[in-house]
Amino acid sequence: MFDTTAASADATDAAKEPIRKRIPCPFDPSHTAWEDDLKAHLFRCNARPKENASYFSQDVNLTLSAPERQPKGFEVTESTNSGKSEVLAALTQEQLMALIKKIQDLHAKYVPEIRTVILDHPALDERKKTVKNIKHAHQQASLLGHMRRLNMLDDPTTCYVEFGAGRGELSNYLKIAVDDHGTATFVLVDRTPPRNKFDSAILGLEEVKSLVKRHTMDIKDLVLAEVPELRRDVTATQRELPVKKDTQDGEENKKDEEGEEAAAHKESEYVEKKPVVAVSKHLCGGATDITLKCLTNFQTSETGHSNLPSPVKGILIALCCHQLCHHYMYPNQEFLKEIDIDSQEFIYLTRMSSWGVCVNQTKTDITGGASSEDKTAIGGDDEHSIVADKELDQLGSNIALDFQGRVKLGLQCKRLLDMGRVRYLKEHGFDAELVYYVDKETSLENLALMAVPASGAGSSSS
């Protein structure tokens, strides 16, 4: 006979068990951990900062200190970007219309016409023959074409630093483009270790191996001046520490340890750096801002040591995901003051920027979903397109903004943020520009930030 009393007791016990909750990992919000197991997770997490590394400095590339971050009562995680419609919904219709008018006026005043220059590079010729979806190949080929146009591929001693490197695919084709015969250096920076990395391919053939190093670290904590691979006296043949041998008396280990201590002491002395070219495709939101801060911090550090020109010989970043920008990371706070955008309006700006890459919703979307052909035609297969937020769209409808009007406004928000980045680089001695490097059918996020040292620029502003 079924014991209902026992079953009821089991159900009661189950109800008493605490519900486990998963939360974003503090080291890397792209993955989660059990809240009650967080301490153990942080100890073993692959994204755990290498705090003992000489090139680690907590939050060194953040523009504002912790107390000046997002306004109280508002929290948005990079992994979910939740809260965008709720924040704007708090505005009255009059406030929202006034904000939109302000953005439109600022765009007209500060954002010049941006040219479209779509280039190619033979390094991607074979790739285009072997893949069905060649959109990524077209983007990479155009980026490499622009690097060639700006003479970023000419110096065989260059250290190419790929920020937000992921698998390192861009560096892989960059290696082919420079045809460096093992003399260039490739540093890949990402806060999480990816699968299916291109690192071995970038190394090259046994007889012509390049110096390739991957650093798993958040860009906000990276002191580029302390990265060993940037030193001119570090070559491909010196890229590995001595291998320790197990011996009975431990003398070999002792010698190796003494050698490493001597090397560490030598690191404290200034050594001239290789020319650096920074690249990325696509670098999401605030990651672009802390990268720019990382590069200008590096430039300031190096030009303070000598009268040498800027060690940063080029910057090329395919921009994306402005909805993930954060006020405390944005490098050009003076520009925000000039255009009278405070920290709260910055949040509004980033939220509306998502309209610029929204996939249109057809009638079939509302009733059951558009076909894949429909979505492809409007950019729905783009990795950075965003399915329209119905609540956000409703806000636009309330103020008589149709889909195209919302897209235009979203792009205006993005370009305002980008112009602040351009001006920031110009203030630090660079010739910088924004260029549409592919058409919007190839990618909705089709804009790149490109910069080289201004003619005669030998030092940076602080």
Residue-level pLDDT at 36: 87
pLDDT tier, 394 (very low <50, low <70, confident <90, very high otherwise): low
Residue-level pLDDT at 461: 40
Residue-level pLDDT at 370: 36
Mean pLDDT of the chain: 80
Indicate whether 259 belongs to any domain: yes
Residue ranges with strand state E in 264-332: 276-284, 312-320
> Does residue 259 register a pLDDT over 60?
no
Indicate whether 180 belongs to any domain: no
Contact 188, 213 (CB under 8 A): yes
Determine the Cα–Cα distance for residues 355 and 403; give it in Å rounded to an integer.
Answer: 9
- Higher per-residue confidence, 450 vs 262: 450
Indicate whether 255 belongs to any domain: yes
Residue-level pLDDT at 430: 96
Residue-level pLDDT at 146: 98
280, β-bridge pairs = 317
| Alpha helices (H) along 117-188 | 125-130, 135-149, 169-178
Q: What is the pTM of this model?
A: 0.78
Mean pLDDT of 289-304: 93
Indicate whether 253 belongs to any domain: yes
Token pair in block for residue 200: 């071995």
> Does residue 270 register a pLDDT over 90?
no
Contact 430, 131 (CB under 8 A): no
pLDDT tier, 4 (very low <50, low <70, confident <90, very high otherwise): low
Share of the chain above pLDDT 90, in %: 51
pLDDT tier, 53 (very low <50, low <70, confident <90, very high otherwise): confident
> Does residue 184 register a pLDDT over 50?
yes
- Higher per-residue confidence, 194 vs 94: 94
- Higher per-residue confidence, 235 vs 8: 235
Indicate whether 188 belongs to any domain: no
Contact 115, 169 (CB under 8 A): no
Determine the Cα–Cα distance for residues 127 and 207; give it in Å rounded to an integer.
Answer: 24
Determine the Cα–Cα distance for residues 27 and 42; give it in Å rounded to an integer.
Answer: 8
Indicate whether 89 belongs to any domain: no
Contact 129, 135 (CB under 8 A): no
Determine the Cα–Cα distance for residues 336 and 72; give it in Å rounded to an integer.
Answer: 20
Indicate whether 78 belongs to any domain: no
Share of the chain above pLDDT 70, in %: 71
Indicate whether 248 belongs to any domain: yes
Q: Residue 261: which domain range?
A: 237-270
Residue-level pLDDT at 392: 60
Min mean pLDDT across 2-16, 229-243, 436-450 is at 2-16
Mean pLDDT of 351-375: 57
Q: How many folded domains does the chain comprise?
A: 1
Compute the radius of gyration of the chain from its Cα atoms.
25
> Does residue 425 register a pLDDT over 90?
yes
pLDDT tier, 350 (very low <50, low <70, confident <90, very high otherwise): very high
Residues 6 or more apart whose Cβ sits within 8 Å of residue 116: 435, 436, 439
179: left (phi over 0), alpha (psi -120 to 50) or beta: left
